[in-house]
Amino acid sequence: MFSVVIPLYNKSENITRTLKSVQEQTHTDFEIVIVNDGSTDDSVEKVEDFKDSRIKLYHKKNGGVSDARNYGISRSTRPFIAFMDADDLWKPNYLEEMAKLIEEYPEAGMYNCAHSTIYKGKSYDMNHDLKRGIIENYFKTCLKYVIAWTSATIVRKNVFDKVGGFPVGMISGEDVYTWAKIALNYPVAFHPDSLTIYIKQDGSIVHRSNKKDNCKETWQDLYQKNNNDANVYIAMKAILKGTRYAWGGYLSESKKIEKDFKYINQYPGIQHSWKKLYLLNRTPSFVKKLILGYKQVVAQSNTSTS
């Protein structure tokens, strides 16, 4: 039923625990497709220690997480793709509960569930008031909750034939962009229980403001003429990218996003993000460098004292 797709890049410390959580699933109709994306540590050796015929290990030149996921999808043989990152965990009943959700809501193209977060030994459940079933308004709901988190997301394989795969070369938000593409074309079903676990590591959030996307896909591509809720969500995500570009000095790109998504100002309560981008695009570069330097010093100080 499921192809579990796991991109693998230098996760030697985590992959054993992750794979064990997959092996311990009460629902056993699955294959595990692991794509080694040019790892330079002993991640591959850790995978090879598992003697499980369900594990299929593929090797490719490093091309980023989107490329690895797309490769995994192309090598999968089951009708449903269950995505998993190489440092996260599933509770034993995850696939069993999601199989029930799929049977109950066959019209959906994407299936998600709530998740827990473990950070510095403490566990936090996703706080929400969502019910089991089809999300009535995916984009409006996503402004309040994280509906689609990668290791808690299952997609029908044939959905990718219609919407395409993950955007190769998108520096950040490639997963969120893909879920949005799917939600524009298919219903999304949600399970309210926390069935997966995100292991938050210090340094999990990587500062990437010195890079820009190298792909043809943009958030502008997803604009909908008659879907205000989707357009607000799309604008919010695009403006986050524009802010990253502004910090990185890519002013032509950040000003284009500022111009393209000016329409967000007509929605009370959220126009502040556009105004922040507007001001940042007009902040002298030396001032931004001073601010970034200060933030790095503070971050290093917090890390050393934690």
DSSP 280-303: HTTS-HHHHHHHHHHHHHHHHHHH
What architecture is the 2-199 domain classified under in CATH?
Answer: Alpha-Beta Complex (3.90)
Cα Rg, the chain, nearest whole Å: 20
Considering only the C-alpha atoms of the chain, give the largest distance between any 2 of them, rounded to a whole number of Å: 58
Neighbours of 45 (CB within 10 A): 11
Interior CA angle at 182 toward 214 and 35, to 5°?
A: 60
**Average confidence score pLDDT of the chain:** 92
* Confidence (pLDDT) at 206: 47
**Rounded CA separation 243/273 (Å):** 9
Residue range 249-284, pLDDT digits in tens: 999 999 999 999 999 988 877 889 999 999 999 999
Q: How far apart are the C-alpha atoms of 125 and 114, rounded to whole Å? A: 8
Half-sphere exposure of 138 (CA within 13 A, CB side): 26
Looking at residue 204, its pLDDT comes to 44
At residue 211, the pLDDT reads: 81
The pLDDT assigned to 269 comes to 73
The Cα angle at residue 172 between residues 169 and 175, in degrees rounded to 5: 90
Q: Whole-angstrom Cα distance, residue 252 to residue 249?
A: 9
pLDDT in tens, 43-68: 999 999 999 999 999 999 999 999 99
Query: What 8-state DSSP symbol labels residue 220?
Result: G
Residues of the chain with confidence (pLDDT) below 70 = 202-210, 297-306
Q: Supply the pLDDT for residue 301.
A: 63
DSSP 107: T
Could you tell me where in the chain the CATH 3.90.550.10 domains are found? 2-199
At 205 the pLDDT is 44
Tell me the helix, strand and coil percentages in the chain, rounded to 5. 40, 20, 40
**Token pair belonging to 76:** 């999968």
What are the start-end ranges of the H helices in 168-284?
A: 174-183, 228-248, 251-260, 272-280
pLDDT of the residue at 304:
54
Considering only CA atoms, which of 258, 249, 242 is closest in space to residue 289? 249
- Tokens standing for residue 189: 């079903």
Separation between Cα atoms, residue 1 and residue 31, nearest integer Å: 8
Q: Which helix (H) or strand (E) holds 23?
A: helix 15-23
